[in-house]
Amino acid sequence: MVTPLAPQQLAGILPRQAVRMVQDALQAAGCPDADYDARELLRIAAGKDPRLLFDPLTRPQAECLAELAAQRMQRVPLQYLAGEWDFLGLTFKVGPGVLCPRADSEVVCETAIELLQQMGKPEPRVLDLCAGTGCLGIGIRHFVPSASVTCVEKSPQALQYLQANVHGTGVQAKAADVLQYWRELMPQSVQLIISNPPYLTGAEMQALMPETAHEPAMALDGGTDGLDFYRAIAAHYRDIVCPGGWLVFEIGCAQRADVMEICRQNGWQQVQARKDYGGNDRVVYAQRVKYI
Ligand code: GLN
């Protein structure tokens, strides 16, 4: 067991030294990116950029930093401790009970934005299924302001973050179970569906990264083979999308072939894939057949 830092170790010392101590403690606890996280924790504790801190830490700052460091040492995600996180240059509220926005997902949102721009429909209707914080749907609305976007989320905890995040964006938050919600929709009423559904396999759920283990299982667990939501969404939402419209999925890096096949089996066409900026397969997208 790694010993946490005591507030009295941090009070009265220079910010730069405090960062070093926190960094060492995080490193000892196995945290990746300990240097980045230590600086960020000081930013949260002090309420400003650590580069603008010159005076020794006050006792309240030291107490706050010690508490944040203790939580991070227990591998609580930095995003939860920060309470907000940037995605595509926008800031989203985040905390326990909702999946953290990830840089890996930016390419999923960018793909959808490109497809909408190519489609050129004046006021496209967009659904973000299993929306969590809403980062995908809200990201789309920001870059395609004419889009009418609904973010669908089942978890009451996640919905609180979603509601806070859609505030003032023009995006709608809808409390619903994606596995049932399609029944409420008119055929061919949507131009694009985007979804980062739960996609971890049963085996992956048993071996989560310590940070991911703090995130809601409901946002991660995709059934035994991780593909349950792809099957359900590809099947139930095909007729909701208008001819020429698109389905855009985030996928796990080993799921490209399976998800492409699920799309084809369910009558989607132009099935394609993209990698994220880390070089991992991350997006599968497919078009609703144009003429039927
Ligand atoms: N990308 C997440 C992870 O690998 C999983 C997110 C999801 O299941 N949608 O931890």
CATH of the domain at 261: 3.40.50.150
Same domain, 15 and 159: no
Same domain, 251 and 272: yes
- Quote the ligand 1 centre to 140 CA distance (angstroms): 20
Q: Is the pLDDT of residue 30 over 60?
A: yes
- Quote the ligand 1 centre to 10 CA distance (angstroms): 35
- Quote the ligand 1 centre to 252 CA distance (angstroms): 7
Q: Is 212 in the pocket of ligand 1 (CB under 6 A)?
A: yes
Name the CA radius of gyration of the chain, rounded: 21
Count of the separate structural domains present in the chain: 2
Q: Is 165 in the pocket of ligand 1 (CB under 6 A)?
A: no
Q: How many CB atoms lie within 10 A of CB 203?
A: 10
Q: Is 112 in the pocket of ligand 1 (CB under 6 A)?
A: no
**For residue 112, which of 89, 132, 135, 90 has the smallest C-alpha distance?**
135
Give domain status of residue 2, yes or no: no
Model pLDDT, residue 50? 85
**Dihedral, CA of residue 122, residue 128, residue 129 and residue 132, to nearest 10:** -170
- For residues 42 and 49, what is the distance between their CA atoms, to the nearest angstrom? 8
- Quote the ligand 1 centre to 210 CA distance (angstroms): 13
Same domain, 275 and 254: yes
Protein residue with least CA distance to atom 9, ligand 1: 198
Same domain, 44 and 102: no
Same domain, 123 and 67: no
Q: Is the pLDDT of residue 118 over 60?
A: yes
- For residues 68 and 80, what is the distance between their CA atoms, to the nearest angstrom? 10
CA atoms within 13 A on the CB side of 89: 4
CATH of the domain at 37: 1.10.8
pLDDT band at 146 (very low <50, low <70, confident <90, very high): very high
Q: Is 199 in the pocket of ligand 1 (CB under 6 A)?
A: yes
Give domain status of residue 203, yes or no: yes
Ligand 1 atom, smallest distance to 208 CA: 10
* Segment 220-238, tens digit of pLDDT: 999 999 999 999 999 999 9
- Quote the ligand 1 centre to 242 CA distance (angstroms): 28
Give domain status of residue 52, yes or no: yes
pTM of the model as a whole: 0.95
Q: 53 lies in which domain range?
A: 7-74
Same domain, 68 and 88: no
Q: Is 226 in the pocket of ligand 1 (CB under 6 A)?
A: no
Protein residue with least CA distance to atom 2, ligand 1: 220
Per the prediction, the chain carries an average pLDDT of: 96
Model pLDDT, residue 4? 87
* Segment 53-109, tens digit of pLDDT: 989 999 999 999 999 999 999 999 999 999 999 999 999 999 999 999 999 999 999
Q: Which of 87, 108, 155, 200 to mutate to test ligand 1, by most ligand atoms within 8 A of the CB atom?
A: 200
What mean pLDDT is predicted for residues 128-139? Answer: 98
Protein residue with least CA distance to atom 5, ligand 1: 220
Scanning the structure block, which residue is given the tokens 């070089």?
279
**Domain end residue (candidates: 74, 95, 125):** 74
- Quote the ligand 1 centre to 137 CA distance (angstroms): 17
Protein residue with least CA distance to atom 10, ligand 1: 212
Ligand 1 atom, smallest distance to 99 CA: 6
Q: Is the pLDDT of residue 12 over 60?
A: yes
